[in-house]
C-alpha cells in the first residue's frame, strides 16, 4: 500500500470512530432484564435492538450468553453486578480481579463486545433495603476500579453505581436546595469524589410514574412533558416536568457538596403499561415519546444543557419480577414478553414505530379456563386461584388494569391460564380439581389478553432458566399433591 492509501485508510478509520462516538452520545439506550419465565433467545433480542436503532444496553449481570450474542454487534454495553455479590467483591481484591478477568476482559478482547461500563450493584441504597448494602457498595466499587486498572481497561471501561433517586432530596419544591439523604450523605460525597477522580459517571434512575403512584395528589401533567399549569420557578429556572426537576435536584446535590462537573447517566426511565390505574399503553406512549422529544435536539435540563445520556426501562416485560413494589413491576417493557411492540414509539427521527421480534414461536392456540359446569362457589376455587396466582402471573387482574373488568369466572380463568402457559401448556397444569378445562377458543376480552406462551428451548436456557425449569417442575409436583388432597378431602 502506498503512503497515500495508508493515510486514506487511517483517515476513514478515524472518521468512522468519530462518527460512532458522536452517534452513540445522542442515542437512546435500553435496559435488558432477564427476570422472565420465558426469555426470547438473546440473538433475537440483539436483532430487535439493532432493528430499532438502540445502540446501548444496560444489563443487570454478566450473563455469558447475552454477552456472546452482543459480540461484534457494535452495541455499547453496561454490564451489571448484582447486589448479592457486593460483599464478596468488597472483601476480596482477588474476587474483584477474577470478576473483571472472566466477565469483562475476555468478552472485550476475544469476543469483541463493546463493554463501556460496569454497574456495581443495582440501587443498593434503596430505602427499602434498610441499609443492607451500605457498608459494601463503595469498597466493591473501589476493588472493581482497581481490578480494571490492573487489567489495563480503566480508560475504556468506567465504573458506576445505578442509584435510585431516593438517595437525594430537597428541603423545598425547588431543585436548588437539593442534597443527599442524611443517613448516607458523607458516603455519597465520597463515592461522587471517587467517580469524579476516575472519570466515571453518576447513574441515576428517575421514575415520575412512582411519584404519581405514591402520591394520589401528585399533579399528573407534571409527570409528563406536555406542559404544566403551575411550573416551579427556581431562581429564574423554570421546571414544568418532574424529570427535569428531579435530575437537577441531583445536579444541585452534587454542586452543594462541591462536585461541579460529574457526568450523569439516566440509568432507568420509563412508564409501565399495566398493573395500576395510571399504567396503560396510552400513558406509557405519552411519557416515553414525550421524553424522546424532550431530549432530542440536545436541550438538556435547565442545570445541564446538552445531550442526555439515558436508558429506557425497559426493553421487554419480565413476568418473574417481584411485585412487592406493585403489580406494575412486570409491565415496564416497550415490548411484550413475545417481542411484539405495545405501542407506537419513534426512537429516532427516521423511525415510524417500534419493530418487533421476528420468527417468534408460540405454543399451540390453547388456553386453560374455568370449566363451564364448575361453580364460582366451589370450595376449591379460592385455594386453586391463589395457588395459580402465587406461582404464575396475575398482575393484570385488579382495579383499572387491563383485565380489571372480568367477571368472577373470567378472573378464575385468567389465573388458571397464566399457570398453564407458564408451565408450557403441560396437561397436568390445567387440572385444578373439577374446575378447569382446556379450550381452543381464545378467551381474551378487549384489552384483556389471555397469553399463549412462547416456545423456549432448554438448550438456550441459562443457569437462571434451568433453575426456573426446576422450580416449575417442583411446583407441578406440589400441584399434583394438592389435587390429590383436594379430591380426598
Ligand X SMILES: *[C@@H]1O[C@H](CO)[C@@H](O)[C@H](O)[C@H]1NC(C)=O
Closest distance between ligand X and the C-beta of residue 339, in Å?
12
Q: Are 32 and 45 spatial neighbours (Cβ–Cβ below 8 Å)?
A: yes
Nearer to ligand X, 41 or 356 (CB): 356
Residue 127 found at the interface with ligand X (CB under 6 A) = no
Torsion of CA 380, 381, 384, 389, to 10 degrees: -160
Question: Can you tell me which of 227, 258, 306, 408 binds ligand X, judged by CB under 6 A?
Answer: 408
What is the distance between the alpha carbons of residues 247 and 228, in angstroms, rounded to a whole number?
A: 17
- 3-class state of residue 476 by DSSP: helix
Residue 405 found at the interface with ligand X (CB under 6 A) = no
Q: Which of 97, 123, 329, 422 is catalytic?
A: 123
Nearer to ligand X, 26 or 398 (CB): 398
- 3-class state of residue 347 by DSSP: coil
123 catalytic, yes or no? yes
Could you give the residue ranges of the DSSP H alpha helices within 204-263?
208-214, 220-223, 242-255
The Cα diameter of the chain in Å comes to 90
Nearer to ligand X, 170 or 330 (CB): 330
Q: Which of 268, 318, 329, 422 is catalytic?
A: 268
Nearer to ligand X, 336 or 421 (CB): 336
Which residues inside 310-349 make contact with ligand X, applying CB under 6 A? 341, 343-344
Which residues inside 14-43 make contact with ligand X, applying CB under 6 A? none
Residue 108 found at the interface with ligand X (CB under 6 A) = no
Residue 434 found at the interface with ligand X (CB under 6 A) = yes
Residue 314: name the closest of 116, 49, 86, 68 by CA. Answer: 49
What is the distance between the alpha carbons of residues 16 and 10, in angstroms, rounded to a whole number?
A: 10
Nearer to ligand X, 8 or 129 (CB): 129
Pairing assessment for the beta strands 158-160 and 162-164 based on DSSP bridges:
unpaired
| DSSP label of 365 | S
Binding mask 244-283 for ligand X (x = CB under 6 A): -----------------x-x--------------------
Residue 230 found at the interface with ligand X (CB under 6 A) = no
List, in order, residues 6 or more apart from 160 with CB less than 8 Å away: 78, 117, 118, 119, 120, 195, 200, 201, 202, 203, 265
What is the distance between the alpha carbons of residues 329 and 341, in angstroms, rounded to a whole number?
A: 18
Closest distance between ligand X and the C-beta of residue 126, in Å?
9
* Region binding ligand X by CB under 6 A among candidate stretches 48-56, 147-155, 205-213, 369-377: 369-377
- What are the residue numbers of the active site? 123, 268
Q: Which residues bind ligand X (CB under 6 A)?
A: 61-62, 98-99, 102-103, 129-130, 132, 261, 263, 341, 343-344, 353, 371, 373-374, 397-398, 407-408, 411, 434, 437
Amino acid at each position: 500500500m502506498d503512503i497515500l492509501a495508508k493515510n486514506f485508510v487511517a483517515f476513514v478509520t478515524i472518521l468512522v470512530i468519530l462518527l460512532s462516538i458522536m452517534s452513540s452520545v445522542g442515542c437512546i439506550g435500553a435496559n435488558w432484564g432477564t427476570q422472565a419465565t420465558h426469555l426470547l433467545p438473546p440473538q433475537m433480542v440483539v436483532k430487535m435492538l439493532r432493528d430499532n436503532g438502540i445502540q446501548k444496553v444496560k444489563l443487570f449481570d454478566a450473563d455469558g450468553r447475552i454477552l456472546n450474542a452482543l459480540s461484534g454487534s457494535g452495541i455499547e454495553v453496561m454490564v451489571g453486578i448484582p447486589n448479592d455479590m457486593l460483599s464478596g467483591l468488597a472483601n476480596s481484591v482477588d474476587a474483584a480481579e477474577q470478576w473483571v478477568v472472566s466477565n469483562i476482559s475476555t468478552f472485550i478482547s476475544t469476543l469483541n463486545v463493546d463493554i463501556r461500563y460496569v454497574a456495581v450493584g443495582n440501587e443498593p441504597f434503596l430505602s427499602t433495603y434498610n441499609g443492607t448494602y451500605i457498608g459494601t457498595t463503595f469498597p466493591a466499587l473501589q476493588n472493581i476500579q482497581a481490578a480494571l486498572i490492573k487489567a489495563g481497561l480503566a480508560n475504556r471501561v468506567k465504573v458506576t453505581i445505578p442509584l435510585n433517586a431516593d438517595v437525594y432530596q430537597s428541603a423545598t419544591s425547588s431543585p436548588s436546595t437539593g442534597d443527599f439523604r442524611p443517613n448516607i450523605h458523607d458516603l455519597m460525597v465520597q463515592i461522587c469524589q471517587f467517580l469524579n477522580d476516575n472519570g466515571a459517571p453518576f447513574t441515576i434512575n428517575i421514575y415520575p410514574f412512582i411519584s404519581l403512584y405514591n402520591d394520589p395528589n401528585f399533579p399528573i401533567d407534571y409527570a409528563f412533558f406536555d406542559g404544566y399549569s403551575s411550573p416551579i420557578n427556581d431562581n429564574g429556572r423554570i421546571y414544568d416536568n418532574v424529570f427535569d426537576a428531579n435530575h437537577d435536584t441531583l445536579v444541585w446535590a452534587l454542586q452543594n457538596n462541591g462536585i461541579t462537573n460529574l457526568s450523569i447517566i439516566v440509568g432507568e426511565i420509563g412508564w409501565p403499561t399495566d398493573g395500576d390505574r395510571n399504567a396503560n399503553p396510552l400513558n406509557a406512549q405519552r411519557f416515553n415519546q414525550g421524553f424522546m422529544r424532550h431530549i432530542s435536539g440536545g436541550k438538556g435540563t435547565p442545570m445541564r444543557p446538552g445531550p442526555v445520556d439515558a436508558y429506557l426501562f425497559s426493553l421487554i416485560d419480565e413476568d418473574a419480577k417481584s411485585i412487592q413494589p406493585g403489580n406494575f413491576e412486570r409491565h415496564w417493557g416497550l415490548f411484550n414478553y413475545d417481542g411484539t411492540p405495545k405501542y407506537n414509539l419513534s426512537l429516532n427521527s427516521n423511525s415510524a414505530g417500534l419493530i418487533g421480534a421476528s420468527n417468534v414461536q408460540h405454543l399451540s392456540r390453547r388456553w386453560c379456563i374455568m370449566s363451564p359446569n364448575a361453580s364460582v362457589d366451589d370450595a376449591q376455587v379460592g385455594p386453586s386461584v391463589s395457588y395459580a396466582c402465587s406461582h404464575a402471573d396475575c398482575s393484570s387482574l385488579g382495579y383499572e388494569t387491563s383485565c380489571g373488568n372480568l367477571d368472577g369466572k373470567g378472573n378464575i380463568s385468567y389465573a388458571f391460564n397464566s399457570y398453564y402457559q407458564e408451565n408450557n401448556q403441560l396437561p397436568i397444569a390445567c387440572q385444578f380439581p373439577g374446575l378447569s378445562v382446556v379450550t381452543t377458543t381464545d378467551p381474551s376480552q378487549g384489552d384483556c389478553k389471555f397469553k399463549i406462551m412462547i416456545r423456549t428451548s432448554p438448550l438456550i436456557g441459562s443457569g437462571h432458566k434451568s433453575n426456573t425449569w426446576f422450580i416449575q417442575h417442583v411446583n407441578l409436583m406440589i400441584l399434583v399433591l394438592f389435587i390429590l388432597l383436594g379430591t380426598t378431602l
